Amino acid sequence: MSNEVFTPKVGDLVRSSELDGTFKVVGVQLRGEKCFIQRFDVSKHRLLDEPQCFVSCSTLFPFQEDSSQAAARIVREATE
């Protein structure tokens, strides 16, 4: 297992250990301790709701879609 620390950057898709859903980083505080995230709809590739202010970066981890999730999303998108 990697001991690498995740440092979110503007534009990254992330998940949170404190909030449900997938989010996009829309801003990072100067020291990189907190950031603004906004709920993101992966299947429609668009932002939802208003940004969540000052979420601790330590609670965020990169969004990773496994192959079965990607396949289900592609089928869903094709049948809409």
Domain boundaries, the chain: 13-79
**Residue 3, pLDDT score:** 63
The better pLDDT of the pair 38, 6 is held by 38
Show Cβ contacts of residue 28 under 8 Å, excluding neighbours closer than 6 positions. 8, 9, 10, 34, 35, 36, 57
Q: What is the pLDDT of residues 17-30, one digit of tens each?
A: 998 889 999 999 87
- Note the pTM of the prediction, 2 decimals: 0.76
pLDDT tens across 28-77, in order? 987 888 999 999 988 788 999 888 778 999 999 999 877 777 777 777 77
